[in-house]
Structure 1
Amino acid sequence: MLASSQTLSSFNLSSTKSIIDDLNLVQQRFVNQLPLIITVLGLIGFIGNLFTFLQPKLRNNSFCIYTLTASFIDIINLFVNLFPQYLNPTSDSASSFISDKLICKLRLFSVVFFPQLSLDLLMMSLIDRYACTFDPTSRMSRLIRLKTVPWMIFITTAVSCVASLYSPLTYDIIPGYGCGATNPTANAIAYISIHGILTPLVMLIFVFFTYRNIVQHRQRAGGALTTERNRRRNHFIGMVFAQVFVSSFFVLLWIGVYWYFLTIQNSNQSAEEWAIVGFLMSLTNNLYYLIHVRSFYLSTLTSNLFRKTMIAGVLKLFSQTLYHRWRGRNAFISNLAVTMRVGQNRQEDTANQLRSVL
């Protein structure tokens, strides 16, 4: 019996080591490479959004301005908060890099502020599409006026800043540890409440209101023909709906794992269970940054208007380049022909002069 117990114990120990080693291997070869992959995808998406939304057909639309501004915030967030993890993924930023109280607070503020501002700008895009479902004479339609957009972006930035102030207030330099949460409970409650519950909930509520207004508008219109304005509005609504659902999924995925970690952090867990939780924390934290990549790719997949505008811009760019090359080539050939003709005329004049002398 004792021998069998020792054999079982050694089998469990080897099994635990095997699982931990497998998770560490996946962490090193896959998860630790995600920051670089996501940053590259985000940079490509930002360039695509910048090129497409600045086309004359879209650049004067309030929804496109909100989306392009959010894309700009996304690329800043990727390079400030995600990409440095790839440069030194195994280092402890709290003890190695952050040694000053101000740097600690600014660092944690940026970690919370940029993602929150990106989601709030997405919410403004959704509110903009919600306002489009009202009649042009209503007060809600004022939100889609171009002169209102800068003020709304300013207000959104201020609200995001206020909603993120809890982070620097609950973090400070801890002697012997570095930059850490001085009140972990308050920080976790604020983070989960604002970013994990309130923000996705408000976005989903506006999705419901927008969809309800569209259905009511179609019922009132009956079999009337759809105008160009309504078709464009529907294109943008499909884009923002897809972005809201994908963003909410990744937010809730990360918040769920983070909440589970908070509930078991003071309990007795085996080494295998802690390894699994740590792996899931790292994986979902990296996947959370896909929120800041989704705009360009979801727009390309869901909106025919976005694809046509992007393709038309690319063709126009290449056609102009080819046209200038063709024009330069023709000019060179014309100049060469003129030069040869002038030279030939000079030779004929010289020959005629020689004949007249002789």
Structure 2
Amino acid sequence: MSSVEQINSAAKQITLGISIICIIFGTIGLLLNLIIFTRRSFQSNSCCIYFLAATCINLFVVFIIVPFRILVGVFNIDPTSNNEPLCKIQIYLFSVTRALAIWFIALACMDGYFCSSSNIKLRTLNSVKFARRIICTCTVLLIIVYIHNLIYFKIGLVSDQLGYLVPSCIPTRGIYAIFTPFWNLVWYALLPLFLMLLFGILTINNIHRSHNQVISQNQLSQNRINNQLLKMLLIQVITILLTIIPFIACRLQLSLTLNNIKSQYEIAQDNLFLQTATVISPISHSISFYLFTLTGPIFRHELIRIIAIWLPRLIPKNKGQHHACRITNVQNRRIHPIQ
């Protein structure tokens, strides 16, 4: 096996392995997230509304986008490569949904800043009503931001892993082909990550200031809950940073060398880096439940409550039947007096 074939084989194995892990753990974790964040005790907290919105989008990523990448990256099957309308819709839909998942976490960081602020006007923005409005506004904004994908993407010939020309869904050649990767980086990664870091720093600053304030017992209890949610948010932001930075670096490197003439070996290397970076990014969409369980006592307690509610519904029925059988057996064994 040549070095090019070895690199291409490694890219496929990495894509398949990580994608399957994301699908399995993502399915279990995100469905449990959905159950927990729709509980009445969480629906009154604005930060949980952002988590719930992100969970819904992440389900689309795990169930649709990740399997699609397996088809394309592992089995070389692209359902959109011969259908231009489908090609445009797929690129547009995937771009919007991936960005929304990241932006909803950025909005949760903003909500954390409002929640921890000493400014009364800012604290009024820490509400479920405002959270729902800003989620809708953000969704409409990103729908508009990526609308150009429906116009300028088309079916074109590109080099595959072995250097052969194959049809693929690509941006129109020229200025747009250079513009769109940077545009996607700004809206999918750089801008939301900047907002996460900005509001994260401002929130930490607000928390340090609040330590010197005298607060009531009720407010202390609410602050304890908010601090747990902020800790859950912080670990989610760190995970997003770790999984998106390789993707940013890879996309920038490929964009800067777009016009370079490359050998088959260099094309295979670029494909390996791109496949690895692309398949790593959905990890942050898949593991939020496990991060929340590890870092959030309030989340763990709600999970335990749900288990405590549902588990007896499965077990006592069998126990009841077993108990009834034992009573029947005892009654049958009794010696009745002679009449």
Assess, with a 3 A threshold, how the Cα gap between structure 1 residues 327 and 147 changes in structure 2: closer, same or farther: farther
What residue number does 1:91 align with? 76
| Greater relative contact order structure (CA < 8 Å, 6+ sep) | 2
Tell me the TM-score normalized by structure 1: 0.80
Q: Which has the higher helix share?
A: 1
CA distance in 2 between partners of 1:177 and 1:21 (Å): 21
Tell me the TM-score normalized by structure 2: 0.84
Assess, with a 3 A threshold, how the Cα gap between structure 1 residues 31 and 147 changes in structure 2: closer, same or farther: closer
Q: Deviations over 1:55-105 (max 9, x none)?
A: 443343222222122111101122222212324533252xx5343332121
Q: 2:140 aligns with which of 158, 166, 172?
A: 158
Shift of 1:200: 1.0
- Greater CA radius of gyration, 1 or 2? 1
Native 8 Å contact 2:251 2:274 kept in 1 = yes
Identity across matched positions, percent: 20
Shift of 1:50: 2.1
Q: Deviations over 1:285-331 (max 9, x none)?
A: 00011121131121122212212221232133223433444445545
Native 8 Å contact 2:80 2:169 kept in 1 = no
Alignment partner of 1:66 is 2:66: no
Shift of 1:205: 0.8
What residue number does 2:171 align with? 181
Native 8 Å contact 1:33 1:86 kept in 2 = no
Native 8 Å contact 1:300 1:307 kept in 2 = yes
Unaligned runs of 5+ residues in structure 2 are 158-165
Unaligned runs of 5+ residues in structure 1 are 1-16, 353-358
Q: How many residues align?
A: 326
What residue number does 2:260 align with? 267
Report the secondary structure of 2:169's partner residue.
strand
Alignment partner of 1:105 is 2:88: yes
Alignment partner of 1:236 is 2:196: no
What residue number does 2:248 align with? 255
Assess, with a 3 A threshold, how the Cα gap between structure 1 residues 41 and 244 changes in structure 2: closer, same or farther: same
Structure 1: which 4+ aligned runs deviate by more than 6 Å? 337-341
Assess, with a 3 A threshold, how the Cα gap between structure 1 residues 259 and 300 changes in structure 2: closer, same or farther: same
Alignment partner of 1:43 is 2:27: yes
Native 8 Å contact 1:166 1:187 kept in 2 = no
CA distance in 1 between partners of 2:254 and 2:200 (Å): 30
Alignment partner of 1:319 is 2:301: no
What residue number does 1:24 align with? 8
Native 8 Å contact 1:258 1:281 kept in 2 = yes
Assess, with a 3 A threshold, how the Cα gap between structure 1 residues 81 and 218 changes in structure 2: closer, same or farther: same
